[in-house]
Structure 1
Amino acid sequence: MKLVEAYNQSIDRAQTVSNQKQVIKIGAGPLATGVKTNNLWIEIGKKHPELTFDFISCACALGDYNEFLSGIGEVFDLVSSVYNDPVLKKYHLQALKLNETPLKLSITVTNSLSRKDQITLNDLSDQTVALPEKGKFDCFDKARAFLEQNPKIHTKTVPGFDMNILNKCVSNNWILCSAEDWQTAHPLLKSKSFNWNCNTQFGIIYNDKSNAATKNLIKTLKKN
């Protein structure tokens, strides 16, 4: 009788475990996400109802670097963001590349340039373009060098691209050098194409020592 009870209890425990949802914590912020990845989580959630996504507020990848990167694997399991290989190596991270995203210019809706479909280097004369400090990201360093071809363009070095900086861009009429996937980051900034060859990698960043649920999700994404 005791053996039967023990067996039934073990079956109940196994069923309970199998019915438990796997929770994956995703770092989210105005610049630590993208339209494509938002759609990706929706599709994955439909195909894998056993997964639950918790979105955790985090600093931007180009904001407080240490806080953002140290949070991967601790505060949250993964994040979608721009990245480069030296950063991954330095912080023992890995990335599943989703695409090469072009850098664009995000312009406040009150700026007349926001009504143009394509921005040229001459259009930016007497404008101020916000960029992260040199040495943070190769693609933004390349963008800065390109802009410096026009001495009439003013560059503004900002500590990062968080919501506070985006608000400053709007209030000061600065133009933000941004990634394509950030086009919905601020409702008063419009993303515009610019004729330059400045791209960066965009993908899912996760820790080398991710938990089982995160590893399984990455495997699923690689198959798609």
Structure 2
Amino acid sequence: MNDDLLTTFLAVVKAGSFSKAANNLYISPVSVMKRMNTLEVNLDFKIFERNSQGIKLTPAGQSLYESAQEINTLIVNSIQKARTIAQDDKVTITIATSLLRSCRPITDLWSQTRNSKFKIRIIPFEDDPASLHNITIRLGKDIDLIVGPTNEDYLMNNNFDFFNLGDCSCNIAVPQNNRLALKKKLDWTDLAGQTMLLLKKGMSPKIDELRNDIKLNHPQIKIVDTSHFYDMEIFNYCVENNYLMECPSIWENIHPSIISLPMNWDYTLNYGILSSSHSSKEVKEFISLAGELYLQEH
């Protein structure tokens, strides 16, 4: 059972329904149902009885739930214990990576160095909200760091440290079938009559600033909210509906049906290395070395 299925399964049982679990995980009920269907197919037995009143664990599902709770508690401790037991001259740095939050800007540079103190372990994850949340709460446990755009809320949270690799500019992601896709650069007049997808109010101070700018000064632009941080499903949604969206310039070639165009404005996003404020001195040393190496190259 992978982390996403385990997290979703526990959330469904705790919430008592797919829809409530979806709200708690910031994903759609359809995504929750798909994951639970996948889990049942993988296990080859039913874990839920579904009826008009909701869901109920089968006896097999109840047994699985009890074991899953133990697994969820033990997994981090087991990894930590194993890492402590392992006698290795090198310090292992575990980096979480995904399509939208790639570690390659750091690891590609690090591979060119002759530093023999550290070795890097990569943990892949999906960009959906539940997976991103799961990775974030594992920082300082079995995950050391993640590289990518970072919401300001993390920067003000004492549980996290942030090494700034330099703010990245906000571009406009334009579906290929949109008339603006033929342009090289955009300004506000180009966006008149267009629909732009933004994070819903309260999720990002910088996006809230952009939202207020649009409402006050560019009311001819229609805003559509998304309930969670961007993942590939959001890009697909924009393509299907011919919506624009703001996106970091580092995601320039992230989707084959979307063109990322520079915009004539001053909006930027924080980009850097996010880690736990309780990281070991070795992890902090690696972040400092890798971060400085990146800044020298850029």
TM-score by length of 2: 0.61
The alignment status of 1:40 with 2:106, answered yes or no, reads: yes
SS state at 2:107 partner: helix
Cross-structure match for 2:164: 97
Cross-structure match for 1:107: 174
1:108–1:114 contact (8 Å) kept in structure 2: yes
Where structure 1 has 5 or more consecutive residues not aligned to the other structure, the ranges are 1-15
The structure with the largest helix share of the pair is: 2
Task: Find the partner of 2:286 among 197, 217, 221.
Answer: 217
| TM superposition shift of 1:133 | 1.1
Q: Which moved more, 1:147-156 or 1:49-58?
A: 49-58
Cross-structure match for 2:150: 83
> Cα gap change, 1:85/1:125 in structure 2, threshold over 3 Å: closer, same or farther?
closer
Identity over aligned pairs, percent: 22
1:121–1:147 contact (8 Å) kept in structure 2: no
The structure with the largest strand share of the pair is: 1
2:145–2:274 contact (8 Å) kept in structure 1: yes
Cross-structure match for 1:155: 223
Q: Which moved more, 1:85-94 or 1:164-173?
A: 85-94
> Cα gap change, 1:185/1:75 in structure 2, threshold over 3 Å: closer, same or farther?
farther
The alignment status of 1:184 with 2:250, answered yes or no, reads: no
> Cα gap change, 1:169/1:208 in structure 2, threshold over 3 Å: closer, same or farther?
same
Higher relative contact order (CA 8 A, sep 6+): 1
Alignment: residue pair count: 203
Query: CA offsets per residue over residues 75-111 of structure 1, 9 Å max, x none?
Result: 5211112225542333610011010111111111221
Task: Find the partner of 1:170 among 220, 236, 239.
Answer: 239
> Cα gap change, 1:153/1:104 in structure 2, threshold over 3 Å: closer, same or farther?
same
SS state at 1:27 partner: strand
Cross-structure match for 2:207: 140
Task: Find the partner of 1:17 among 67, 84, 88.
Answer: 88
| TM superposition shift of 1:163 | 1.2
Query: CA offsets per residue over residues 104-163 of structure 1, 9 Å max, x none?
Result: 111112212111011122211222111111122121112212222222211111122011
2:165–2:291 contact (8 Å) kept in structure 1: no
Cross-structure match for 2:51: none
SS state at 1:135 partner: coil
SS state at 1:56 partner: strand
TM-score by length of 1: 0.79
| TM superposition shift of 1:194 | 1.0
Task: Find the partner of 2:270 among 201, 209, 212.
Answer: 201
SS state at 1:96 partner: strand
Query: CA offsets per residue over residues 16-53 of structure 1, 9 Å max, x none?
Result: 733xx4432222223223xxx62431121221355433
